[in-house]
């Protein structure tokens, strides 16, 4: 066996591939055209409407350039709208449209259901332990990321 197969980075990359594949398959089966990043943006906007692009990017740990492209696609699908900020005329705030709320309502239970499939082979107790350790490692390395997570104050 290659030593590579026991390295955290390789295993995390593989699990991300599995997660992305399961997500894409389930969304397609349900007739939804959403990526994991798009879903994350919609979910964050549901709880925190009227945030700017940079704040939203930090809330879901994506870089601002990627977030701009994601928002362009979501706006083209009619799921979000951007408006001039009442506090800063140079900034735009983002919120879900009615169609965005509807898409998120359809997607949310699907995404929760597929979480078990992403960690297939683990018992419920092992999943809980794994998620706790994954969260601990992710939080410890947050400042090392090119796009660190900056959760909203009330998240």
Per-residue pLDDT for the chain (155 aa), expressed as one digit of tens each? 689 999 999 999 999 999 999 999 999 999 999 999 999 999 999 999 999 999 999 999 999 999 999 999 999 999 999 999 888 888 889 999 999 999 999 999 999 999 999 999 999 999 999 999 999 999 999 999 999 999 987 65
Report pLDDT digits (tens) over 56-98: 999 999 999 999 999 999 999 999 999 998 888 888 899 999 9
Residues with Cβ < 8 Å from 74, sequence gap 6 or more?
A: 38, 41, 42, 80, 100
Q: What are phi and psi of 152, to 5 degrees?
A: -65, 155
Domain 7-144 CATH class label = mainly alpha
Q: Please give the model's pTM, rounded to 2 decimal places.
A: 0.92
Radius of gyration (Cα) for the chain, nearest Å?
17
């Amino acid at each position: 066996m290659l030593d590579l197969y026991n390295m955290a980075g390789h295993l995390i990359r593989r699990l991300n591939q599995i997660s992305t594949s399961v997500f894409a398959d389930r969304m397609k089966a349900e007739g939804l055209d959403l990526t994991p990043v798009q879903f994350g943006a919609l979910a964050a906007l549901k709880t925190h409407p009227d945030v700017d692009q940079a704040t939203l990017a930090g809330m879901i740990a994506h870089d601002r350039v990627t977030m701009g492209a994601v928002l362009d696609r979501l706006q083209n699908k009619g799921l979000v709208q951007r408006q001039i900020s009442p506090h800063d005329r140079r900034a735009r705030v983002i919120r879900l449209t009615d169609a965005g709320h509807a898409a998120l309502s359809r997607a949310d239970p699907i995404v929760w259901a597929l979480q078990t499939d992403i960690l297939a082979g683990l018992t419920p107790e092992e999943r809980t332990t794994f998620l706790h350790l994954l969260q601990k490692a992710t939080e410890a390395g947050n400042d090392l990321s090119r796009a660190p997570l900056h959760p909203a104050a009330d998240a």
